[in-house]
Structure 1
């Protein structure tokens, strides 16, 4: 799982579901993701890889998944993610976080579910042939905020 390092002069604390802190210069490998960019941590090991793209934000995103080229989508940080995925044509395999078992999405089988962000910081899509995939991401917290 990802490894993060504190390259600042002050302690950094992640007080979400887990209380974790890094002293200056300290490095920790975690079994879940943390919003390292927001916290000011350095990502030392990107395993599993999390694509960074600050231009993507909350709301509706659509993109085309090409055959033989996996597409990685980094989810914006929220305590819990509500996810809807639709594939108007073709078949797409969706992997949530670093899970090895795919979820099949096709015109007859859309996908809607809730995930904790620290277990699903990114999605990977694979297609057997050119397929249009429409992804809708709606982050929210368990408190309804």
Structure 2
């Protein structure tokens, strides 16, 4: 069987779907825990999106992939409220831990109780990538 490697700047939706499904099937062959999405949208009264949280969880861990609030609405508690809502929903689903990575918002996550467990220095150049986690056990009580 011959093959070739092709470097692509962007994946087509179909290629991404095939890769993600292949990885999902491989993961399920190793464990019975499938990731479930946990997403929160922040919308204005007119329905316009002004922020959102995208995450997923398995049986025990919530991973926050993205948290975003429009620049003019930052510092008003919307990000904090989305994080707390995601954590509370995750606990309802049986999750006990949360983790994420951040470059520019370490202080924000530390105020929410997240602790650094790993750092990749100078990534991106001139900055550090922080991996942080938080126990959600206290939310259960």
Query: What is the TM-score normalised by the length of structure 2?
Result: 0.27
Higher helix share: 2
Which of the pair has the greater relative contact order for Cα pairs under 8 Å at 6+ separation? 1
Higher strand share: 1
